[in-house]
Amino acid sequence: MKIIDIIKKKRTLSFEFFPPKNEINLPSLHKTIAELSKYNPDFVSFTYGAGGSTRKLTLEISKNTKQNNDSEVMSHLTCLAHSKSEIIEILSKFKNSGIENIIALRGDMPENQSELNGELKHATDLIEIIKSQFDDFCIAGACYPEDHPESINSEIDLKHTKLKQDKGTDFLVTQLFFNNDDFFRYRERAIKSGIEIPIIPAIMPIRSTKQIRRLTELCGAKIPESLNQKLEKSIDNDEETIKIGIEFATEQTNTLLENDVPGIHFYSLNKTRSVKEVLNNLNISH
């Protein structure tokens, strides 16, 4: 089923997972997915390793989950390191595996690859291919409440996001963020700029101070000062950080739900505890 058709009917709950580095660890991921399936997500998504190592597994897990679970599947696909013909081949494989939902992304420069094909420079190039070659995928795109780190300014970044809608994107999923006001302001600006497709906010429950500082440095999300001070105190105590992360994500999700969001997407980091506790705290079992 196309996710956009689910969004039209109800507020969605979704979880994101990343494929393991090698196949040996697939059973462990399937166990994690099964554990979170008890919360009846509307869809689960699987990231695509722009670096290459986990690409094949995205297809394999997507296919397997689609066949064996009740929830819909959204496969991530990045285009920066692929040629147009490679992308068409990959999309055909997704289609033949029954995958109906793709989040179309540019990706980032793979670490060990200095020269890229250069045919596909932006997510919109990928969206164009999907639309012109395959008429039956539901397409999602990424958006950035605090701007994409490479963007020149907020206006231009929003203009590029609007282009995703104009080229055929059905809905957007945000980068992680910790200040709901950033999301609300972004949503308002997006609507004013003509973006009408649903924008699903994504939540990442923090699990480790060092890890979240690394991640936010890469993606440009800001950690509010009061949260940062708590995280500083628990820098060497991951158990304490997990508790701080659950408490913060619970409050953040609750406020988003009170403010008319079309769904909530959780960056699960392939762990069940934090997401489960947030959902239990909010009494959410879909």
Scanning 46-122, the segments in alpha helix (DSSP H) are 55-68, 84-96
Q: Which residues contact 225 (CB under 8 A, 6 or more apart)?
A: none
Radius of gyration of the chain (CA): 18
With respect to ligand FAD, which residue has the nearer C-beta, 136 or 150? 150
Task: Quote the least distance from Cβ 165 to ligand FAD, whole Å.
Answer: 12
Has 16 been annotated as catalytic?
A: yes
Letter for the amino acid at 205? P
Query: E strand or H helix at 155, and its extent?
Result: helix 154-166
Among 16, 72, 146, 277, the active-site one is: 16
With respect to ligand FAD, which residue has the nearer C-beta, 50 or 73? 50
What SS3 state is found at 132? helix
With respect to ligand FAD, which residue has the nearer C-beta, 39 or 48? 48
Task: Quote the least distance from Cβ 163 to ligand FAD, whole Å.
Answer: 6
Task: Quote the least distance from Cβ 48 to ligand FAD, whole Å.
Answer: 4
Dihedral (Cα; 39, 219, 226, 241), 10-degree rounding? 50
Residue 156 neighbours by CB distance under 10 Å: 12
Task: Quote the least distance from Cβ 82 to ligand FAD, whole Å.
Answer: 12
Residues binding ligand FAD (CB under 6 A): 47-48, 50, 76, 78, 103, 105-108, 122-124, 142, 148, 150-151, 157, 160, 163, 173, 175, 202
With respect to ligand FAD, which residue has the nearer C-beta, 219 or 240? 219
Active site residues: 16
